[in-house]
Structure 1
Amino acid sequence: MNKGINAWCFPESCSIEDIFKSARDYGYEGVELNLSDDPSAPLPLNMTEGQLLEIKEEAVDAGLSLPSLSTDLLWKYPLTDKDENVREKGIAVVEEMFRIAEVFGAETVLVVPGIVNEQVFYEKAYRRSQDSLQKLLPVAEKAGITIGIENVWNKFLLSPLEMRQFVDGFDSPNMGVYFDVGNVCPFGFPEQWIRILSHRIKSVHVKDFKARVGNINGFVPLLAGDINWKLVTEALDEIDYKGFIIPEIPPHKHFHHPFMGNLTDTMDEIFPFKRQQEDQHE
């Protein structure tokens, strides 16, 4: 497994140079950037290829890879929205992520498959999501990029069996799962999801969760919640997962450096990064 970090773990005031330097200094191997419609964000929409190549070069100079891409824009433009124009905007966002991923050499693009709500019925969301992803899949296959469907709090694909069936229905090695360990906790056990989804898991997000809180305020830093990380790592080992482990945890408002130090130390304690490196050098 590889040790990565999402750019949302850094304060908004951090430039992309700050993010890469800090990630390198704290021992990370890769950074996951997030596509945004905020022009001041580290990775805004509509960057030129030259600008993207500059970002890649900065990452390489820092000894980092850019293994995957994320975005919050698919909450704004869901692939299951009842408005076809909104769905098309969501498709365009993912296509833009493919373009960026090709330049970066990223293997996985995180995709929220859709949202179910009072206006969007579940069965219609299922069909719309399939239709949207069918349009995107040939582009991903041509680019050699994997679409990673993430389990999020979207009232959609609520069990590992359903998610497995959904992914397998595309019959493509370029369709997989971006598994978020913390997100599954209110309605399942992450180690069970991991074993059921198995080789379909292409990347992993981590954060902890306090069950007694039970809502979005229950997300906490690693080892501050109720997740049995020993069972999680055993399940990942059982499916022979070799991809990135990427925390997606908001930074501390006032003490960023202690936060980063605790995060990297905790990740090294939970996951076998150092042990794997030692084995490779023996």
Structure 2
Amino acid sequence: MTRRDAIRYSVGAGLTALSYPAFSSTKIGKAGFQIGACDWSIGPAGDIKAFGIAKQIGLDGVQVSLNTASDHDHLRKPDMQRAYIDAARQADVQIGGLAIGLLNTIPYKSDSRAEIWVQDSVDVAKALGVKNVLLAFFSNNDLRNDPQGTKVVIDRLKAVAPKAEKAGVVLGIESWLSAPELMAIQDAVNSPAVKIYYDVCNASDMGYDIFKEMRTLGKERICEVHLKENGYLLGQGKVNLPEVRKTLDEIGYAGWLHIEGAVPKGKPMLESYVENNKIVRSLFN
């Protein structure tokens, strides 16, 4: 992408934020939780049909993808932003968050294209009326044992943080790193616009004590939470969901809980997510 293209998309997204009021809803559980799902978990990433599917499941919202492998621009295009806002309204389902999963393939730590996407994601989030942007740090973007890559990420987050602060947008780091390692990155950036996107299953897979980690991070450092299992329904795998609820209550977290994965082998997605939604609501609402 040329510098001219980058400027054009940033300006376009900014104009959309001014021209189209954010879609919002008041569907919040008594405990302050909203239940959503990732678009890539209930269908292909970047599929606008996710809102209709979320409605069938009974979810409050959908965490949507900024872009995809086949369309690097996608939600960076103002006309697509308008289409998403309309689709969410029609389904009476919120746009629950924004995510840049493509960073796993085209890494933020080393590719200039990814740096432009993160900059533009602030404008897109504002246009869509969402607060949190998930930045994925897995596969090609993994920061484990990569001090140079981590330094680049810190420098790039420092560069975008003032823009995010001004827009009221938070960039959430989701990675394999431990809580102390994530806190070190946060402290180096030193901005309220950079927080941790906590995935209870990823942290469990790494062998971390997720309850200790969540208490250590606290609500001031955690921007949003993924409830996930690999190959199991929620509540039937390795993650102790009642203890997750207890811990989130202890730290005072309220906000979005987005379901990811949690489809047993051979079981249909829709059926699995109806069950997952019931399980989560029985524990969190």
Aligned AA (2:182): M
State TM-score, norm by structure 1. 0.79
Q: 1:16 aligns with which of 34, 48, 62?
A: 48
Q: 1:64 aligns with which of 74, 93, 101?
A: 93
CA distance in 2, matches of 1:177, 1:228: 20
**Which residue of the partner structure matches residue 92 of structure 1?**
116
Would you say the 8 A contact 2:36–2:256 is kept in 1?
A: yes
Asked whether 1:245 is paired with 2:257, we answer yes
Would you say the 8 A contact 2:198–2:224 is kept in 1?
A: yes
The more displaced of 246-255 and 1-10 is 246-255
CA distance in 1, matches of 2:271, 2:163: 42
Asked whether 1:203 is paired with 2:224, we answer yes
Q: Which runs of 5+ in 2 are unaligned?
A: 1-32
**Which residue of the partner structure matches residue 234 of structure 2?**
222
State TM-score, norm by structure 2. 0.78
Identity %: 24
Would you say the 8 A contact 1:205–1:246 is kept in 2?
A: yes
1:90–1:259 CA distance, 2 compared to 1 (3 A): same
SS of the aligned residue for 1:202 comes to: strand
Would you say the 8 A contact 2:143–2:150 is kept in 1?
A: no
**Which residue of the partner structure matches residue 3 of structure 1?**
35
- Deviation, 1:76, is 2.0
CA distance in 1, matches of 2:45, 2:81: 20
**Which residue of the partner structure matches residue 262 of structure 1?**
275
Aligned pairs for 1:102-113 within 5 A: 102-112=126-136
- Deviation, 1:173, is 1.6
Would you say the 8 A contact 1:38–1:44 is kept in 2?
A: no
**Which residue of the partner structure matches residue 173 of structure 1?**
192
SS of the aligned residue for 1:222 comes to: coil
1:261–1:141 CA distance, 2 compared to 1 (3 A): same
**Which residue of the partner structure matches residue 149 of structure 1?**
173
Would you say the 8 A contact 1:207–1:219 is kept in 2?
A: no
- RMSD over aligned Cα, in angstroms? 2.4
Deviations 1:33-64 (Å, cap 9, x if unpaired)? 11233447xx9536531321121122023222
CA distance in 2, matches of 1:76, 1:136: 21
CA distance in 2, matches of 1:159, 1:202: 16
Q: 1:135 aligns with which of 134, 150, 159?
A: 159
1:150–1:15 CA distance, 2 compared to 1 (3 A): closer
Would you say the 8 A contact 2:197–2:222 is kept in 1?
A: yes
